[in-house]
Amino acid sequence: MNQPTSAVTVLSSTHGRQRRMERNIAKRDLQAAIKYGEKEATRSPMTGKRGWKYTFAGNVYITDRTSTREITSWPEPCFGMDLEKVTITSEMMQEHKEAVKCLSDESKWNSHAVAVVDQSGSMRKADAAEGATRADVVWLTLALDFVGERLRSGEASSWDVFSLVGMRSRGDLLLHYRPMNWILYNDLIDLLRTAHPMGEGNYLPALDEAEKLLHGNTYSSCALLLIFLSDGRPSDKLSSSHEYSNCNHYVGNLTKRMKKRVGALASRFGRRLTVGAIALGNAAAAEDFSTLKAMADAAKDYGSLAYFHSASLSVDSLAGTFTSLTSTLTSTKVEMTALGSSRQRKVRDVLREKVDSLGGYEVNNEWFHIEQEIDSSNGNRNIVRTRWTKDGWHPIRMKYMFLSEDAVGVAVKIRIFGEGAERIVREFREVNSDGVFVGPSMVGKESRFIENIDDNRDKKTFHTCFCKTQQLAQRFALAFNKRLANVPFLVAECIPKIEFLDCSVYMIEHPRMGRVGLLVEQMLDIKRFEYKKWNSNNGFVDGRHESKQNQEIKNDIAVGNVADIIEEGDEEEDSSVENCVSDDDEESLAGDNEGDDFAFELADVPQAFSCFTYYYTKRKVLVCDLQGILDTSVTPPIFRMTDPVVHYRSSQHHRRYVYGRTDRGLEGMHNFFKTHECSNLCRMLKKRWYCARVNDA
């Protein structure tokens, strides 16, 4: 007579009951496994004690030697879900071997992605979709979306490198400098089928291993991605000399250490590094992901592109997260690629500082200090300031060299605090004879790439396009502000204006810096006002959410009282880009315009400016990538902007990048209008308004 399954007596330990609950395993399943399952001898990895391992119906159970006391249990990896491996041909294997060999040449790497994946015991929880474990979801998504999808689309090649660290009690190197190909895809499927998460998930040793991998390629033309994925807070045990009154205090101290470590990485790599901190888990369970979020914030502080993602326990959710990160990685590769070739440009090796560390009173060892000197042998100056006009570069007379009368030299911060696709940004100040800063706070911008610094041509040449672009944008801004002021029913003193910063180029000689050219402009008050990007040159448009302060400004702009106004359709402007700003007064007529909607948001102003430049130049030019601050300390408020992008539609199709490598011509214009929706303000600016003369009434 067969013994009923329920009659099998198993005493469950507290740990065993907890693990079964976490992994959705019923006690009756354990009883059935002891009766019907596959049995083999085992030893505890922690204590070395002998016991039995039962495998049955997709679950693994560990008991003591008597099979009457449960120790722990977990689902089998990949039970109920699997991927078919790709058949590797002899040609594919040969290409793989050649790729591995070629990776010894670090200059050929396009990108290096380092993934740190939690492999602690909690990743065996079978609470994901379709009853899969958390680890199964990660391996499945890494194989299908991070590798497979990118290979199929052509987004990744053998020059894109992948490394993998398993986060347990230590950092386990699972895959080391592997080329992106179908062999890597199959290796991830092997991990799906065989990996056994267990023990603790310690953040610090895993980050140690990731740091070594990221620093492994010393050639600075490689785009970097760090993925740090965990389903909970760290298990690290800090020094025994520390006593923590509660768990939150302990986690807080560990978080500070992780922030410091990630901040150091971001300070070294800057914009070349993307950091993705991924919290994997059920939001309802309220796992503590504060450390992961702090890691992303620390990377942002030093200029890296960083994101904190909370992914639910499904393949679709995690796939979306990976897609977002790989899209950013691809964008980084593109901006590091030399025009007209596939060669990656080398980024300069500079250290970065946080924005909140800016400021100071006088020169110290954190600055390069240059006092004005004249070479008696040839009359050359070690500081020369020049300005760009339509006629070319014009040096400023020595009498007007400095903005402050007390200045005798300049100071340039050693560390940078900002980094764009093309340039890095440092603090720049004028200095008096006592080494004290005088005059306004300024910034100095220069190329972030080594090739532009090593160029033996005139050091001003690199900045020519940026000066032309910024000055052209300011000319459009003057026309926009004038047109906006002529729109009826708006309170003139409350209408925000657009302004692009004035700039000049300083040529500087310094023993440590060498001969450099810095594009210098006023520093925006980013400590007082939020620095933001309202749109970009790839179609991004900022959302409509407005602060309370901005809402109050908006309420002051529009007033009613519609009377004696008519409108005219799209007006024809001078088609010449260089001569499109006209100061001619508009003729006044009379008419009626009841029923028009004059309501608009503050966020509409920058978007309307971009739209305005397109129609103002007869669809020849579009100014976008609008970034800066909204200065509400003045009346009317001013959008103070810098580093715009000009897309130029050339009638000669072979003319490309007329306004620099960010000039995408017609493609850039199309990208803008794919996402741009004309607001009421856009429509008002496309009309010519005529106020009634008293004599004509």
Tell me the CB-side half-sphere exposure of residue 455, using CA atoms within 13 A: 17
Question: SS3 for 508?
Answer: strand
Per-residue pLDDT reduced to its tens digit, 626-685: 999 999 999 999 999 999 999 999 877 667 788 888 888 999 999 999 999 999 999 888
Q: Beta-carbon neighbour count of residue 555 at 10 Å?
A: 9
Q: CATH for 99-335, among 1.10.10.10, 1.20.120.1730, 3.30.420.10, 3.40.50.410?
A: 3.40.50.410
User: What would the two tokens of residue 659 be?
Assistant: 């306004």
Residue 177 pLDDT class (50, 70, 90 cuts): very high
9: exposed, middle or buried (Cβ count in 10 Å: 0-12, 13-18, 19+): exposed
Return the minimum-mean-pLDDT range out of 159-163, 254-258, 599-603. Answer: 599-603
Structural tokens at position 15? 């740990």
What does each C-alpha distance from 365 to 412, 427, 441 come to in angstroms? 11, 14, 18
Confidence band of 312 (pLDDT split at 50, 70, 90): confident
Amino acid identity, position 198: M
Q: Cα separation of 452 and 466, whole Å?
A: 14
The whole-number pLDDT of residue 34 equals 75
Question: Torsion over CA of 25, 29, 31 and 33, rounded to 10 degrees?
Answer: -110
C-alpha span between 534 and 536 (Å, rounded): 7
Domain ranges of the chain: 5-75, 99-335, 355-468, 472-503+524-691
Contact of 271 with 215, CB cutoff 8 Å: no
CATH number of 472-503+524-691: 3.20.200.10
Of the listed ranges 533-542, 581-590, 686-695, the least confidently predicted one is 581-590
SS3 label, residue 462: helix
Q: What percent of the chain has pLDDT over 90?
A: 53
Tell which wins on pLDDT, 344 or 301: 301
Q: What is the pLDDT of residue 581?
A: 43
Whole-model pTM?
0.77
CB 411 within 8 A of CB 369: yes
Nearest in space to 296 (alpha carbons), one of 282, 279, 284, 281: 279
Q: Taking phi first (over 0 means left), then psi (-120 to 50 degrees means alpha), and beta for anything else, what does residue 349 get? A: beta
Segment (H or E) for 485: helix 461-485
Contact (CB, 8 A) for 383 and 372: yes
Looking at residue 25, its pLDDT comes to: 56
**409-413 and 437-447 strand pairing:** unpaired
